[in-house]
Amino acid sequence: MQAFPGPTTLLRIAIGLVLGCALLLASPMHAAEGNPPRTAARDAAPVVIDGSVLFRVAGTDAMPATQRARSIAGRIEAIAADPKADPSALRTEASGPYVAIMMGSQRLLLVADEDATLADFDSAESIAPIWAERIRLAIGDYRADRTPEALRTGAIRAALATVGFAVGVWLLVRLRRIATGWLDRRLATQVTDLEVQGLPILHAEQISRTVRVALRTVWALAVVLLAFVWLDLALSRFVWTRPFAEGLVALVLEPLERMGASAVDALPGLAFIAVLAVVVWWLLRIGALVFDALGNGAIQVAGFEPEWAQPTFRIVRTMVLLFAIVVAYPYLPGSSSDAFKGVSVFVGLLLSLGAASMVGNLIAGYTMIYRRAFRVGDRIRVADHVGDVTQIRAMVTHLRTVKNEEVVVPNSRLLGESVVNYSTLARQAGLILHTTVGIGYETPWRQVEAMLLLAAGRTPGVLAEPPPFVLQTSLGDFCIVYELNVHVADPRGMDRVYSDLHRHILDVFNEHGVAIMTPAYVADPADAKLVPPARWYEPPARRPAADGQRTA
C-alpha cells in the first residue's frame, strides 16, 4: 500500500495547480461561466472544495463541464479566502431562464434546468437555494479548517497518531517474537508427519514451514493495516492532505471491493477447480505408488519391463495433467477475456515454433526405451562413440567412454542411426570378439589355426565354453586371411581382451617361427620377419612375473 503519492504524481499535481491558477488569473473573478443552453447536458463534473463535492454541474457549448466546475470552485475559494466576504450575503435571483447565485454584486454561477436534472430536480428554481446553502457551509468549513486552533489541534492529533503507530509496531514486533518462540517449541515437540492409512501426505517439516509462513503473513498484514490507519488519521487532520487520505481509502477499498466481487463471482468455478485438483493429486499419488512397485518388481505384469515404469509414469502424469488443464480451463477466472485468450495464443505459438526439436527428441527417447534398444549399464556404439550408458533421459542419453569421457547424444540421433549393443546378448551367450591375421600360403592352415587357438587359450577373460574358433575369410593374392573368434562374458572389458589377445598372437607366432604377412607383401624378404625369443625382453621390457603374465 502506497502511503503518499510518488514524486511523479506530486509533479503532475503541482503542474495541474499551476495551470489552474493561471486559468483563474486569466479570467476575472466576476466573469460568469457562460450561459448554459437549454439543451440536454453533454457531460457533468463535480464542484470540489477541499476534497468535498458540493454538487455537479453540466457542460455547455462554450465551456466543458470540467472547466466550468473548476471555474466555480475557484470563485468560491476566492470568496472563502477573503475575510471581508460575508457568507450570509449569499442569495439567489432569477436571470432569464436561469437562476443566479450571487455574493453581493458578484455572480458565482448560473443554475440551469440541466443542472437540476443531474440532481433529479425539476427546475433550477428548486435546486438553487440548496446549492447556495451548501456554498455557505463550505465557506464556513474552509475558514474553520485554516484557523490556528484547527491547525494546532490537527498537529497534536497527527503526532498522537504517529506515536500510536510507533507503539503499535513495537508491540507487533514483540508479539511476533513471543509467538515465534512458542510456535517453535510446540512444532518441535507435537508436530508429526501427516499420514492417511500409512501413505505420507505432509511431512512435519513442511507443516512447520507452512505455519511459520502463515505467522509472518499475518504479522505483515497487521503492520500494513496499522500503517493504513495511521496515514488516514494523520493526513485527514489537515485540509491540504485530506484529499490524499480520502484517495488512500479509495486506493485500498476499491480494489478490495472489486476483488471481493470477482471472488464471489468466481467461487463456483474455483470450487470445481479445487475438487478437480484434489482428485488429480490423489490419482497421481496412487499412480506413483503403482509404477514404483512395477519398477522395483513388487508388481509384475507379463510383457512389461521394470525399466519402463518411470517413463510410462511420466507419460501418464503428463496426459492426466493436460486433461485436467483442458477440463479446468473454462472455470479459470478471466478465461473468457480477450487478454487471457491472447496470452494463450501467444504461448501456444511460442511452443509450436520452438518445441519441434524438443518434441522430436522426446518421441525418440521414449521410442528407444520401449523398443528395448539398450538400458543403463549397457555398452553401445553410436556412430564413432563407444561407451557405457549411464543415464537415459527424455531428451538425451549419456555415455561414458573407456577414456572416462562423457558423451551426450540427442535421442533423435539415436533413432536415426544404427545402435550396436554389445551387452544385450552377452548376458545370455557372451559376446564374440574377433581379430584377423594374414599368413602366407607356405604355412599349413592347420598349424595357423592351432596357433591362434593357443593364443586365445592364453588370453585372460576369454571363455573356454563356448570354445574359440577360427574362420578362413578369404584367400588373397599373397596370404590367407584367418579370423579368430573368442567369447567374453563382460563386454565392458573388451578393449583389454583385444589388447591381451593381440599380444599372445604375436608371442605364439614368434615362438613357432611364422611371420604374419598382414596386410600383404610384394616379394619374399631376405630375412624372416620374426622376433626370436632371445629378443623378447630387450630393455626396457621386463621378464614375466611369477604368475606367468607379461608386464611392460
Which residue did the predictor score with more confidence, 165 or 350? 165
Q: So what's the pLDDT on residue 356?
A: 56
Please say whether the beta carbons of 459 and 501 come within 8 A: yes
Mean pLDDT of 202-213: 75
Which residue did the predictor score with more confidence, 14 or 392? 392
Position 117 pLDDT exceeds 80: yes
β-pair partners for 17: none
Measured CA distances, 78 to 16, 25, 90, 230, 495 (Å): 18, 11, 14, 32, 103
Please say whether the beta carbons of 72 and 47 come within 8 A: yes
What's the chain's average pLDDT? 78
Mean pLDDT of 112-127: 86
Report pLDDT digits (tens) over 320-341. 888 888 888 888 776 666 766 6
Three-class DSSP category at 478: coil
Q: Give residue for cell 511476533.
A: 176
Q: So what's the pLDDT on residue 2?
A: 39
Please say whether the beta carbons of 429 and 479 come within 8 A: no
Question: What nine digits make up the cell of 196?
Answer: 492417511
Mean pLDDT of 411-436: 80
Measured CA distances, 224 to 26, 161, 252, 260 (Å): 45, 15, 11, 19
Report pLDDT digits (tens) over 268-314. 888 888 899 999 999 988 888 888 888 787 887 777 777 777 777 87
For residue 40, give the amino acid letter: A
Whether a cis peptide bond, with omega within 30° of 0, leads into 410 is no
Q: Name every residue whose Cβ is closer than 8 Å to that of residue 432 and which is 6 or more positions away in sequence.
A: 485, 486, 487
Three-class DSSP category at 46: strand
Measured CA distances, 109 to 36, 61, 418 (Å): 10, 16, 94
What are the percentages of helix, strand and coil residues in the chain, rounded to 5? Answer: 55, 15, 30
- CA dist 119 and 426 (Å) reads 96
Whether a cis peptide bond, with omega within 30° of 0, leads into 519 is yes
Question: What nine digits make up the cell of 493?
Answer: 572389458
Q: So what's the pLDDT on residue 40?
A: 42
Q: So what's the pLDDT on residue 360?
A: 62
- CA dist 410 and 399 (Å) reads 11
Q: Name every residue whose Cβ is closer than 8 Å to that of residue 297 and which is 6 or more positions away in sequence.
A: 306
Three-class DSSP category at 199: strand
Q: Name every residue whose Cβ is closer than 8 Å to that of residue 279 and which is 6 or more positions away in sequence.
A: none
- CA dist 407 and 380 (Å) reads 12
Whether a cis peptide bond, with omega within 30° of 0, leads into 330 is no
Other beta carbons within 10 angstroms of residue 214's beta carbon come to 11
β-pair partners for 353: none
Q: So what's the pLDDT on residue 292?
A: 85
Give, to the nearest 10 degrees, the angle between helix 204-235 and helix 242-296: 170
Topology classification of domain 360-421: SH3 type barrels. (2.30.30)
β-pair partners for 436: 483
Mean pLDDT of 216-237: 84
Question: What nine digits make up the cell of 479?
Answer: 596370404
Please say whether the beta carbons of 111 and 94 come within 8 A: no
HSE, CB side, 13 Å, CA atoms: give it for residue 110. Answer: 19
Nearest alpha-carbon partner for 135 in 88, 93, 97: 88
Instruction: pLDDT band for 364, please (50, 70, 90 cuts).
Output: low
Position 44 pLDDT exceeds 90: no
CATH of domain 426-535: 3.30.70.100
Which residue did the predictor score with more confidence, 418 or 16? 418
Nearest alpha-carbon partner for 391 in 401, 381, 400, 383: 400
Q: How far apart are the first and last CA of the chain?
A: 80
Rounded to 5°, the CA angle 491-496-500 comes to 125
